[in-house]
Amino acid sequence: MLSEPLLWAALLNNLPIALNPATASAILRCIKGSRRGFVIFTPVAGQGDPNAELAEIRNYLEPQIMLEVWMTKPGLDPGVQAQELIKEINAFDQEGQGKSLIIASGGDGTVGAVASALRGTDIPLGIIPRGTANAFSVALGIPTSVKAAYTNLILGNTRLVDVALCNDKPMILLSGLGFEAGMVNKASRELKNMLGPMAYIFSGARQLVEQQPIDAKLTIDGEATEVHASAITVANAAPATSVMAQGFGQVIPDDGQLEVIIASPRGRMGGFSVLSSLAKSAVLKNSANNADIFCVRTHQLSVTLPKPQTMVIDGEIEETDHMTVSVIPDALKVIAPIRLSP
């Protein structure tokens, strides 16, 4: 009689059940030694045809990786799906015989939810970016062209990166009060569908005109200070296009620290000057030289607000009267290109 694990493996991978015991054992060893990829696929991501994109994913990856696709559903957090998969992977990969990974195929919302579920595990996160900004992919040097993204997954180089907690919620990119939150809030789904990545530039221009300074009390490394600022941005990882995070010219996702940027421009022209300085820093990869910008690296900080303000955490908007952020070093394993030293 065939063993239950062999039956399960054969059915899972749509393989014929071998009757010869030696052949059955060989098949089982082959399955256990193969890479298994669970794709969490968001159909509404991007502007392409999801059926064609999914067919392309299968066409490129299945010769190298055994795939199982889980479709995201409205009202269901992709992170919950990832947690179910983690249980299945842990059961199959016991004794270190498996090589499973979870692949997030969608925008930054899908990637962030899956990454949050995977933090603290040894299961690699693969990414096929199909969103508007694909900020996390860009920050880690993961190609945003789909064919190059497939190649990255097949090569399989892994990199440990930090994960932050913002108000007890996992954060892989950044959180922000003031300008950053208003910009993201104005970049509606309709605007992103029409303009793509340009939606954030358009909404940023609108926000620059409308942004009002906020009062806040900050505690960084135990030292408290009060600020009157137009933007408070805390970054764990961010591409150059996340301009408000570029106080140091680049955000390092695996240094065990958070980049904190506080912008306090005086008037609209001061706001343009701040944005120009930060954009220049991103291009030149050096620290911003502007008296209205304060930058610091820290492991944690807290912000207290006299009244609730709009805050963004990895693209999600909420109202809050405080922001507490801390970093968890090397908490996430990501399939990403080898990082070259600057």
Are both 180 and 267 inside the same structural domain?
A: yes
Are both 131 and 79 inside the same structural domain?
A: yes
Partners of 324 in the β-ladder? 302
The answer to whether residues 233 and 244 touch, using CB atoms and an 8 Å cutoff, is: yes
Are both 190 and 315 inside the same structural domain?
A: yes
> Would the pLDDT of 240 be above 70?
yes
pLDDT tens digit string along 120-158? Answer: 999 999 999 998 889 999 999 999 888 899 999 999 999
Task: Output the six-digit token pair for 169.
Answer: 């919620």
pLDDT tens digit string along 311-320? Answer: 989 988 899 9
Q: Which domain holds residue 174?
A: 169-329
The CATH number for 106's domain is 3.40.50.10330
> Would the pLDDT of 96 be above 60?
no
Give dist(CA 129, CA 146) in Å, integer: 7
Are both 180 and 312 inside the same structural domain?
A: yes
| Average pLDDT value for the chain | 83
Q: Which of 152, 132, 335 is nearest to 241 (CA)?
A: 132
Are both 126 and 254 inside the same structural domain?
A: no
Interval 300-306 mean pLDDT: 96
The answer to whether residues 137 and 114 touch, using CB atoms and an 8 Å cutoff, is: no
pTM of this structure: 0.81
Are both 124 and 201 inside the same structural domain?
A: no
Q: Which is more confident, 138 or 24? A: 138
Query: In the chain, how many domains are there?
Result: 2
> Would the pLDDT of 17 be above 80?
no
Interval 195-224 mean pLDDT: 69
Q: Is residue 21 part of a domain?
A: no
Are both 81 and 133 inside the same structural domain?
A: yes
Are both 202 and 280 inside the same structural domain?
A: yes
Band (11; pLDDT cuts 50, 70, 90): very low
Give, in order, the Cα–Cα distances in Å from 116 to each of 120, 157, 163, 175.
Answer: 9, 20, 8, 15
Q: Is residue 19 part of a domain?
A: no
Are both 139 and 229 inside the same structural domain?
A: no
